[in-house]
Structure 1
Amino acid sequence: MPKLHRRTAYQPHVRWLAWLLLGIAALFMAGCAGLPSEVQRKPSTAISDGADTRLGRLVKASAPPGEPLSGFRLLPMPQFSLHARVELARRAQRSIDVQYYLVQNDETGRYLLRALRDAADRGVRVRLLVDDLYTAGADPLFSSFASHPNVEVRFFNPFPAGRERFGTRWAWSILDFDRVHRRMHNKLYVVDNTIGVMGGRNMANEYFLRDGGSNFIDIDTLVAGEVVPRLSSLFDMYWNSPYVYPIESLVPPTGETRQQLRERFDRLTTGPEELHPEVPGSTDLLGNNPLAKDLDAGELKLVWARAEAYADPPAKALGQTDEARGLPADESKDSVLYNVRRYLRGAENEIMQTTPYLIPGRGGMETIRLVRGNGVSYTIVTNSLAATDESLVHIGYRRYRAEMLRLGVELYELSPKRVEQTRRFGMYGSASGRLHGKSAVVDRKIVFIGSMNFDPRSMLHNTEVGIFIFSPQIAQQLTSLIGFIRLDGAYQLQLGPKGAIEWVSPASGDAADTILHQEPETDFWSRWKLELLAPLVPESLL
């Protein structure tokens, strides 16, 4: 029979004492923790002869004559996007450069790493750069992957100690918060310096419709041609920066041989949960084949256009910008924020934008007021409280909703229930749908796709990457995709007669629309929790 413990008067004091001692220990540990000071970072750059590879020759043969342009194919459907990355890895001959905020130690992350290791076995140089925020407990996986002679793994802005668990990492680094809360949010995948994939997706189950709880609606693009060397140079800027640490400088050697490390990698990436995705059937929402079908036929169907690519400097993650100090936002002309604002403010007729996290801040509201004052229609699609995976961000967002509506912004919020009911973006089953795509269409001729959210964290603290595509055809495709979300999966917001926000759920057929007067698809507790936390959350950290 189990022993029962009676609650005594001194137990609360014991618990408080335990928490106090734990806090003192955490501060002591944090004072002792520090990044390695003498780190050997072997410089390397993108290969220069990718045009001579099979993929390079195919890209060249597919390009139109005349002015050098870049080729694009939007990847709105998760199965097609994962398939494209893996097929490119399978056909790589010289190099694969991979940069992500998140490579999760789950079925999808391990599947990608295995595809990269298989490429390395063929002699392909693989450089993997991952932000260190979500690598807790994954050092055995990444270090065994890095043991391959053709593979290098580096972490951006790493945690120096307590690496086994997310909580212990933060405990060891609590005195270094201003550094460790700034992250590399970039997402980039380049093969043979000639073709790649970029956009909003990280490498984890929930980005590819494989999570049992919730999955993201996102957007990537296949990119080839003239702009790819620019993307590679942006990767090199991070890879060779002093804010990046080789995994060997953070993870002590285990004494295992290279063969033993290879066997460990095989054990970690195979088994009952190993991913074996089928080649996507038929065509995607835009009528495109799975990439393998085109590559096998020796053709590459792309939309060719002029493009510009930008990335924030790596140092952004380690210091406050002028805007963070409350000064005017005059960012570097190579930063993503500067160029997003430049093209939004230059709009003449229409802006359509998607962002999962919407906190415009002072600079964003200046942009909205400017373009609305010029008569430009402005539509934004974002997450509802029920759809968001960051409820604290919703606190910051809701402070701006009424003003945006008064300015004439058409505001839509994703409905998890409606996304589950539609099959346009895939079968969600019992999982809920959430928006994660970061995109914009300006005047039906300029498209932005990248990693930047419309919130202070992306604007001030995290590094981002993005591409601008000057193509009415790509703009029309993205406009259609955003339209699918608005029509099939979102509520439109409006101001009621007394100025309160209302959510309009469009009806089918001749039925009347349903108007809701509180955050849709939420319960009392989730709304009440936000009311409690709202006064305590600093907007600058959201």
Structure 2
Amino acid sequence: MLKKVQKILHVILFVFIAACLVLLVWGKIDKTAAEKRMVFEHQPIQYPIRQSNITLYTDGKQFNNQLFSDIRKAKHYVYINFFSIADDKVSHQFLDLLRQKSQEGLEVYYAVDRLGGILLKKKERELLGKAGVHFTYYNKPALPYLFSSMDHRNHRRISIIDGRIGYIGGFNIGKKYLGEKVKLGHWRDYHLEIRGEGVQDLEHQFVLDWKKNTEQQISIHRVTKEKGATSHRFTAYYSGEKLSQEYAMLFQQAKDSIIILTPYLILNDRTIWNSLVDARNRGVRVKIVFSPHSDALLVKEAAYPYIRKALKQGMEVYGYKKGVLHGKVLLIDESILMVGTVNFDSRSFHLNEEMNCYIHDPVYISKIRPVINEDIQNSKRVTSSNVNQLSIKEKIKEMVARMIEYYL
């Protein structure tokens, strides 16, 4: 009897290993073929320079309260997508609010990325439909490029209310973004509220994304053309190559300082890395703040090789120590501020659809600089010993992380 059990276990193990190898090879062929045919390659959309009033939110509760309030006050329509949604009290309140507004007669369109929306239950989707909410998943996996389509995610987070108010940034929907997950603790993020002519670009991008994923054309309304105080522009990315080129161009312009805030530090894009090294060689001070404490597995260990490289080049690396830092921010010479959805990792550089807001207003930037300084002050500077004197467990985790870093 024992021999039979052992034989069955051996067969199961063999089948499992064989299946993993088949999937690995299939995935590699799939990815290579998709890249060769440029299936997911599109030119970025660079919107015009606009003037809007911009408010920055770094606290999840304040952001949620304002977003929910704006939706409650909506009179005509709500277009909204987040990368992910949880299955908790906050998420249910959000979905209830969308249903309520639809039942009041408003146009409500809601999208979530297929992978990020994995916790959205079928019952919840059905309730949205019954209430008249238009719902879709972005980037559904599809043949013939199954693995590549699974990897290709819509990481944009766009909200438009009545063509007057728009939002974009790092927050998603769920209680962890309010700092209410005990294991994660305090959650620090960067999310912009746009009031003014820039809202039309957010709405235009939402309509494009909706049509791309559903083949349904939805209305572009008479969005406000009212000018605000702050000069900015949006860029929507589909291709990592174009994103790399734009970041490299920004870093090449730097004369004094580059500050990067990112949840994850997997800096394996050669174009971006080389431009940062060139900046250091010109005497530009480079500070990178990342989040060692994270909601994602192995990202801290995946960062170790890049921290070592950065330190060797004289860059300053800081680990946020107050909780989770999830903001995506660049600050170049106090003259260009970027807040958006792009992380410093493989997914954002090579796989995701992203959107950034570039702000060129020195007055506004001077107001945000103390916020960035606060995050640096709440971080600990990383030294060589921190990433070289690792335990055996940490070394093993780093090895595993390096094997799969492209997908983290």
1:198 aligns with 2:168: yes
SS in 1 for 2:229: strand
- Structure 1 runs (4+) greater than 6 angstroms displaced: 21-28
Alignment of 1:467-478 (within 5 A): 467-478=357-368
In structure 2, what is the Cα distance between the partners aligned to 1:350 and 1:437?
19
In structure 2, what is the Cα distance between the partners aligned to 1:132 and 1:534?
24
Report the counterpart of residue 339 of structure 1 in structure 2: 246
More displaced 10-residue stretch of structure 1: 181-190 or 366-375:
366-375
Once the 2 structures are TM-superposed, how far is the Cα of residue 11 of structure 1 from its aligned partner? 2.3
Select 1:229's aligned residue among 171, 179, 200.
200
Once the 2 structures are TM-superposed, how far is the Cα of residue 338 of structure 1 from its aligned partner? 4.1
Q: Which has the higher helix share?
A: 2
CA contact (8 A) 1:155 1:245 kept: no
In structure 2, what is the Cα distance between the partners aligned to 1:410 and 1:448?
20
Report the counterpart of residue 145 of structure 1 in structure 2: 128
SS in 2 for 1:402: helix
1:63-116 Cα deviation digits (max 9, x unpaired): xxxx97211111011111111110110111111111111022222211111122
Report the counterpart of residue 444 of structure 1 in structure 2: 334
CA contact (8 A) 1:157 1:245 kept: no
Report the counterpart of residue 71 of structure 1 in structure 2: 53
RMSD: 3.0
Residue identity in the other structure for 1:345: Q
Q: Structure 2 length normalisation: TM-score?
A: 0.82
In structure 1, what is the Cα distance between the partners aligned to 2:251 and 2:76?
38
Report the counterpart of residue 325 of structure 1 in structure 2: none
1:386-445 Cα deviation digits (max 9, x unpaired): x13334333442112222122221110122xxx2xxxxxxxxxxxxx2111111111113
Residue identity in the other structure for 2:397: L
Alignment of 1:141-540 (within 5 A): 141-149=124-132, 151-159=133-141, 176-215=146-185, 216-241=187-212, 243-244=213-214, 304-313=229-238, 329=241, 331=242, 336-361=243-268, 362-384=270-292, 387-415=293-321, 419=322, 433-488=323-378, 490-494=379-383, 501-503=384-386, 518=389, 524=391, 526-534=393-401, 537-540=403-406
Identity across matched positions, percent? 21
SS in 1 for 2:298: helix
CA contact (8 A) 1:156 1:245 kept: no
Residue identity in the other structure for 1:485: D
In structure 1, what is the Cα distance between the partners aligned to 2:144 and 2:177?
30
In structure 1, what is the Cα distance between the partners aligned to 2:290 and 2:393?
18
Once the 2 structures are TM-superposed, how far is the Cα of residue 18 of structure 1 from its aligned partner? 4.1
Once the 2 structures are TM-superposed, how far is the Cα of residue 526 of structure 1 from its aligned partner? 4.7
Once the 2 structures are TM-superposed, how far is the Cα of residue 214 of structure 1 from its aligned partner? 1.0
In structure 2, what is the Cα distance between the partners aligned to 1:20 and 1:136?
30
In structure 2, what is the Cα distance between the partners aligned to 1:492 and 1:207?
25
Q: 1:68 to 1:19 in 2, by over 3 A?
A: closer
Q: Structure 1 length normalisation: TM-score?
A: 0.62
Residue identity in the other structure for 2:8: V
Report the counterpart of residue 2 of structure 2 in structure 1: 8
CA contact (8 A) 1:357 1:454 kept: yes
Identify unmatched segments of 5+ residues in structure 2.
27-48, 217-226
Report the counterpart of residue 426 of structure 1 in structure 2: none
CA contact (8 A) 2:252 2:279 kept: yes
1:323-357 Cα deviation digits (max 9, x unpaired): xxxxxx4x2xxxx5543333233222222110011
SS in 2 for 1:367: helix
Report the counterpart of residue 498 of structure 1 in structure 2: none
CA contact (8 A) 2:248 2:275 kept: yes
CA contact (8 A) 1:103 1:203 kept: yes
Once the 2 structures are TM-superposed, how far is the Cα of residue 223 of structure 1 from its aligned partner? 0.9
Q: Which has the larger radius of gyration?
A: 1
In structure 1, what is the Cα distance between the partners aligned to 2:98 and 2:350?
33
In structure 2, what is the Cα distance between the partners aligned to 1:358 and 1:456?
9
In structure 1, what is the Cα distance between the partners aligned to 2:196 and 2:145?
45
In structure 2, what is the Cα distance between the partners aligned to 1:351 and 1:211?
32
Q: 1:347 to 1:338 in 2, by over 3 A?
A: same
Once the 2 structures are TM-superposed, how far is the Cα of residue 531 of structure 1 from its aligned partner? 4.4
Once the 2 structures are TM-superposed, how far is the Cα of residue 359 of structure 1 from its aligned partner? 1.7
Q: 1:366 to 1:304 in 2, by over 3 A?
A: same
1:163-191 Cα deviation digits (max 9, x unpaired): xxxxxxxxxx9982222122111111111
Once the 2 structures are TM-superposed, how far is the Cα of residue 234 of structure 1 from its aligned partner? 1.0
Report the counterpart of residue 219 of structure 2 in structure 1: none
Q: 1:121 to 1:373 in 2, by over 3 A?
A: same
> Aligned residues, how many?
370
CA contact (8 A) 2:113 2:155 kept: yes
SS in 1 for 2:382: strand
Report the counterpart of residue 111 of structure 1 in structure 2: 93
CA contact (8 A) 1:73 1:303 kept: no
Report the counterpart of residue 129 of structure 1 in structure 2: 111
CA contact (8 A) 1:447 1:470 kept: yes
